[in-house]
Amino acid sequence: MAEKTCAVCDDKLDATVIEVKIGDQTVEVCCEECALKLREARTAS
C-alpha cells in the first residue's frame, strides 16, 4: 500500500491527519499549519 503524504509539504501522514474541504474535494494535511496555508491559498485565488 502506498504511503499517504501531506498535500502541502509532502510529509508522511500519520494518525493526526487533518482533512480540509476545498470546494467539493477533501484534502489531507499533516498539521494545522499546513491546513492554514491551504485555506489561505484557496482564498487568495
Q: What is the largest CA-CA distance in the chain?
A: 35
Q: Residue 31, Cα to own-chain centre: how many angstroms?
A: 8
> In 1-45, which ranges are E strands?
18-22, 25-29
Query: What pLDDT is attached to residue 16?
Result: 93
Q: CB of 37 within 8 A of CB of 27? A: no
Closest CA to 31 of 41, 20, 45: 20
User: What is the reported pTM?
Assistant: 0.84
What are the sequence ranges of the domains in the chain?
1-45
Per-residue pLDDT at 1: 63
Q: What distance, in Å, lies between the first and last C-alpha atoms of the chain?
A: 34
CB atoms inside a 10 Å sphere around CB 30? 21
- The parts of the chain modelled with pLDDT lower than 50 are none
